[in-house]
Amino acid sequence: MKTEERKHLKIDPRTGLLLLMIANIIAFSQNDFGIECGLVVFLTIITLLCGCVASAGKWVLTFCALILLQWYVLPVSPKIIATSFSIFISYARRMLPCLMVGSLMLKTISLHQLIAGLRRLHVPQKLIIPISVTLRYFPAIREEMGYIRDAMRLRRIRGFEKVEAMIVPLMISATGTAEELSAAAVTRGIENPTKKTSVIVLRMSIFDWSVAVLATAFLALAFIV
pLDDT value at position 191? 67
Residue 132 sits in the same domain as residue 46 = no
The answer to whether 25 and 219 are in contact (CB under 8 A) is yes
Judge whether residue 9 has pLDDT over 70: yes
Residue 181 sits in the same domain as residue 209 = no
Percent of the chain's residues with pLDDT above 70: 95
Judge whether residue 210 has pLDDT over 70: yes
Residue 7 sits in the same domain as residue 103 = yes
Judge whether residue 185 has pLDDT over 90: no
197 inside domain: no
Judge whether residue 164 has pLDDT over 80: no
Among the listed ranges 27-36, 162-171, 181-190, which one has the minimum average pLDDT value?
181-190
DSSP helix/strand/coil, 190: coil
pLDDT value at position 134? 78
209 inside domain: yes
Residue 29 sits in the same domain as residue 68 = yes
173 inside domain: yes
Residue 207 sits in the same domain as residue 104 = yes
Give the mean model confidence (pLDDT) for residues 210-221. Answer: 91
State the total domains in the chain. 2
pLDDT value at position 131? 81
Among the listed ranges 2-16, 167-181, 202-216, which one has the minimum average pLDDT value?
2-16
19 inside domain: yes
Residue 132 sits in the same domain as residue 157 = yes
Identity of the residue numbered 165: A
pTM: 0.77
Residue 8 sits in the same domain as residue 93 = yes
pLDDT level of residue 156 (50, 70, 90 thresholds)? confident
Judge whether residue 5 has pLDDT over 70: no
The answer to whether 111 and 129 are in contact (CB under 8 A) is no
> Phi-psi category of 30—alpha, beta or left, where left has phi over 0 and alpha has psi -120 to 50?
beta
Cα dihedral sign, 187-192-194-198: positive
The domain in which residue 181 lies consists of 115-187
Interatomic CA distance for residues 221 and 143, integer angstroms: 43
For residue range 42-100, list pLDDT tens digits in order.
999 999 999 899 999 999 999 999 999 888 888 888 888 878 788 888 888 889 999 99
Give the mean model confidence (pLDDT) for residues 141-164. Answer: 83
24 inside domain: yes
pLDDT value at position 221? 87
194 inside domain: no
Of 161 and 108, the structure prediction assigns the larger pLDDT to: 108
Angle CA(28)–CA(26)–CA(66) in degrees, nearest 5?
Answer: 75
**What crossing angle do the helices spanning 53-68 and 33-49 adopt, rounded to 10°?**
160
CA distances from 63 to 19, 67, 72, 106, 147 (A): 19, 6, 14, 20, 34
51 inside domain: yes
Judge whether residue 173 has pLDDT over 90: no
pLDDT value at position 45? 94
Angle CA(12)–CA(18)–CA(22) in degrees, nearest 5?
Answer: 145
The answer to whether 98 and 23 are in contact (CB under 8 A) is yes
Residue 151 sits in the same domain as residue 214 = no
Residue 102 sits in the same domain as residue 126 = no
Give the mean model confidence (pLDDT) for residues 112-135. Answer: 83
**What crossing angle do the helices spanning 206-224 and 13-29 adopt, rounded to 10°?**
10
Residue 155 sits in the same domain as residue 103 = no
193 inside domain: no
Kindly compute the dihedral angle of the four CA atoms of residues 166, 110, 38, 27, in this order, to the nearest 10 degrees.
60
